[in-house]
Structure 1
């Protein structure tokens, strides 16, 4: 089996398949270089979405890309992570290692090997790994009575930035969709991840290994796509238009991180395509800069289309900023019936009376 898979036995029931990928590897449209595994090259917009709370400046200096194949997709104590793939950088090359469990009674040795890869400080990079791969591995470590190295690692789950930037643009945010749209990578003769359990159980129960090569290839492609997505997602968070990302969603991320100027620039540049909610956010950023003419232009445009938020904003503006009470009342009365509308109108009428 080891010979047919190009693997090295590292313990009874555990195989290691290692590939040195060289200094330049094309994956779809993206050229992968060893530097892609350097933490310093990850854009702050992505590191900010990592699991750990401290400042992005304190993130580990290296990345470790991880993907598992499992005996089932439900998780829990009855699910085995039988293949763990890891991609790391080294001088002048990327190194891809795949640890394959070929015997159930070898799990302890298998986890020893995987745990050794995870013991050094790193930012773990996965796709949906926070919800699936990491909890599953943690469960397997605990069931085997071994320390869990995952709890000490930063964890950047790329599903989060993909959903943030493309969740309202694409039909779905699966890894295959992301690699197709952002990397131009199309899988040929791929064995889907959902077929991996049957392939492994075929070996465990009947000694059938024909499908395991497809599982290894699928896992390898997953890891390469993770590495390729890092720079492309960084570009999407700096210039959403270059990859068709959701400008409003990306701007909201920068806003939440305190980069109001960058959020404003993004929304201004794409204002013709913003939804009403996006335009209201743009007006709010103008308001924070005392650009009242720009605010009112947006509010008036949306109010003419019946926007309740815009009518309310105009009523507040003319009451508190311009002190034009008749006009403020006019906008307040245009609001749909509600307790807030009645309260505002009554207050304005009292002010007008005296």
Structure 2
């Protein structure tokens, strides 16, 4: 049999999806599963977006320009300039989801073997994107005890080498929900200017900031115009994960033209996704106000409930819709699989994502899980009951 590629063999499995076969089997056995493992909101997609899809009228389902349609990029520029990004449509390259935006940026900015610094825990698929791009992730640890605040600039400088080309942040953060402050972003600006590094900013959860906290983008900071690369997507903002439409935003014209070559090689983003995305920009503010209120209530329910269970600690996140919780268990991967294979309470159980998959450092997050508060409060409370009952009988409980 022909031999597989080393890259293929090294490609990591998704910690979010790798337990799916066990969940499928549990469902066949009649168990109800509370899915807290994946960021798939149950919030309704905006009506204006759905109506745009229903009313599509074209006779040929044609290619679009590789950088995205002019009408969609004009509309996106309108949206971002309301946020004071001060961008032109020609600064925006439309991609097939935020995932493609990240992969294209890695390929356009870094040579194989060059390094990108990412505070961990980080979005698990960064490992996969880096692997497919031949890029090396240099992780620096953030800690649950500090709520996963940005590590000190001294920690960044410890891992900067001649191969370092970029720093990547996710703000608000997936998986921790941490919202970076202006002071933290300004410190990163000075670091990137000092070492002439790209600053990648994944802003998929921009709209989800709680308790009146301010969202700051690197686009709001002066002097970084040629360093900043923004990743965005309609998936979370409009509860439209299946649309698979994202974008790269950069004012660096040389980088833009290089990224465009990768976009041309994959031909074009989807026409129907751009039609829906363009319509979505007109979503009324009342939609986001209601969604933010709902997620705040869900966060409060989940975090309060977690911390009320003996042995669990969870910080209170400032954004996104995830928490990372520390559990009194020996091994998160084993525990999450056990929950699906061997445990049920009233024929119900909970699916979570082991936090080990959100770290690059070996054995980091061994007793942590990521939970997404994408279910209603009744389901969240039922999931918390299941979790508490499970910890009472789990063979690998540590205290």
Same fold, TM exceeding 0.5?
A: no
TM-score, normalization by structure 1: 0.28
Bigger radius of gyration, 1 or 2?
1
